[in-house]
Amino acid sequence: MKFTISKEMLVKPLQMICGIVERRQTLPILSNVHASVSGNRLTLIATDLEVQMSTHAEILNGSDGSVTIPARKFLDICRALPDEATIVLSADGGEKATIRSARSRFTLSTLPAEDFPCMEAPRDAIRFGIAQDTLKYAIEHTQFAMAQQDVRYYLNGLLMEMAGSVLRFVATDGHRLALCDLVVPEAEELEKFNENQQIIIPRKGVLELSRLLEESDAPVQVAVGNNFIQLKTDQIEFVSKLIDGRFPDYQNVVPVNSDKRIVCERDLLRQALARVSILSNEKFRGVRLEFSPGLLHVHAHNPEQEEAEEEVSIDYDGPNLEMGFNVNYVQDALAACETAQVQLMLSDPNSCCLIHALDDEQCRYIIMPMRL
């Protein structure tokens, strides 16, 4: 196999797929990228057995064939070459591949392409299309609530629930929950799903999708099978295994009878929380919120007997209410709202707090209270 390509055409697709290559792999071949040439197209594939990504680039000329080469080293070499450099890679089927560019020459170890563990995309799948920026919005506004290395493995991912023309994304770590609804009217295939049809995308797959999807209305084609989800754009093909588990019944957590409504300026509340949190307990990160008509009193203290207090004007005319929360969870929810004003719905000190943008419930955030 041999091909010639410009640096600009090679570096970007390499960067896209190298994000899923772990530096320490149990199988040496997983540290490699699979490169194959067919006609005037170079296809690059990387995988860690949980997620797989492939992309392509146009070459100047070449001969058909395939090889696997160390992904990080290949990318670092290409990056280090001068701008507008022309790269020639050749592999004769042995254990080495040679990279040449002007007066530079590099020899890398290779592994057989036939040993590369490519993941098969779902065949009997439900397929639909959605705009990239819409899908990216839903992922970015929920992913922060996913658990990290929780023994309840089904929480270490993002739930995608499909029913009719609605896609719902839900993430929770057991202490907070993020929920976002998308209406996909053109997705006729979704009509085949029942209300309880759910899949759980693993954490790494979610983070990679958030990185790869673009802020454009260009379509992404989604295929959902029993064990895999596949997403295809003009540039990439992404396949991820699904988490085999049952997501908790989140519907029971979403407050429906909250009778205390608070409206406040998002930035003012975020700034007050940021200042007060400096003196909160470093381990538990608890702050006390005291609601009274027209005023929110924010208070924090730590084991060193240090205290911080802030007052924020709010739109509220109900009875006095005092609750404790993890300040990081509240800040994450406020950051995700992205509107000038936010709405908090409460009922009593032992119930969850529901946060969402004012007059917009597309994305909702539920936070469990803390005992302080």
Distance CA 307, CA 172 (A): 31
Longest CA span, the chain: 79
State residue 313's pLDDT score: 97
Distance CA 195, CA 162 (A): 7
In a domain, 121, yes or no: no
Tens digits of residue pLDDT in 7-46: 999 999 999 999 899 877 789 999 999 999 999 999 999 9
In a domain, 53, yes or no: yes
| Residue 238 and residue 268 share a domain | no
In a domain, 357, yes or no: yes
| Residue 296 and residue 215 share a domain | no
State residue 127's pLDDT score: 84
In a domain, 120, yes or no: no
Tokens encoding 127: 């397929």
Which span out of 90-94, 217-221, 222-226, 268-272 was modeled with the highest average pLDDT? 268-272
Model confidence band, residue 218 (pLDDT cutoffs 50, 70, 90): very high
| Residue 69 and residue 156 share a domain | no
The set of residues, in sequence order, having a beta carbon less than 8 Å from that of 52 and lying 6+ positions away, is 20, 45, 46, 118, 119, 238, 239, 240
Type of residue numbered 258: S
Min mean pLDDT across 145-154, 199-208, 220-229 is at 220-229
Q: Where are the alpha helices (DSSP H) in 1-94?
A: 7-18, 71-80
Greater confidence, 342 or 121? 342
| Residue 74 and residue 46 share a domain | yes
Domain closes at, from 251, 284, 300: 251
Tens digits of residue pLDDT in 147-199: 999 999 999 999 999 877 789 999 999 999 999 999 876 555 555 555 558 99
In a domain, 372, yes or no: no
Model confidence band, residue 122 (pLDDT cutoffs 50, 70, 90): low
| Residue 130 and residue 245 share a domain | yes
State residue 210's pLDDT score: 94
| Residue 343 and residue 283 share a domain | yes
Tokens encoding 169: 């994304």
- 3-class secondary structure, 353: strand
| Residue 231 and residue 307 share a domain | no
In a domain, 292, yes or no: yes
Cα–Cα nearest to 115, from 238, 241, 39, 28: 28
Min mean pLDDT across 136-145, 212-221, 291-300 is at 212-221
Q: What is the mean pLDDT of residues 111-122?
A: 87
Domain closes at, from 211, 236, 251: 251
Burial of residue 315, with CB atoms counted within 10 A of its CB: 0-12 exposed, 13-18 middle, 19 or more buried: middle
Residue 267: which domain range?
A: 254-367
Q: Where are the alpha helices (DSSP H) in the chain?
A: 7-18, 71-80, 132-140, 203-212, 266-276, 327-337
State residue 327's pLDDT score: 97
| Residue 268 and residue 245 share a domain | no
| Residue 99 and residue 190 share a domain | no
Percent of the chain surpassing pLDDT 90: 84
CATH number of 333's domain: 3.10.150.10
Q: What is the mean pLDDT of residues 83-91?
A: 95
| Residue 152 main-chain phi, psi, to 5 deg | -80, 85
Domain count, the chain: 3
Hey, how many other C-beta atoms are within 10 angstroms of the C-beta on 20?
Answer: 23
pTM metric for this prediction: 0.90
In a domain, 291, yes or no: yes
Domain closes at, from 251, 286, 308: 251
| Residue 260 and residue 243 share a domain | no
Structure-derived torsion over alpha carbons of residues 97, 100, 106, 107, reported in degrees to the nearest 10: 20
In a domain, 238, yes or no: yes
| Residue 226 and residue 130 share a domain | yes
The set of residues, in sequence order, having a beta carbon less than 8 Å from that of 39 and lying 6+ positions away, is 64
Alpha carbon of residue 191 to chain centroid: 26
Neighbouring-strand partners of residue 68:
34, 111
Q: What is the mean pLDDT of residues 341-351?
A: 95
| Residue 140 and residue 36 share a domain | no
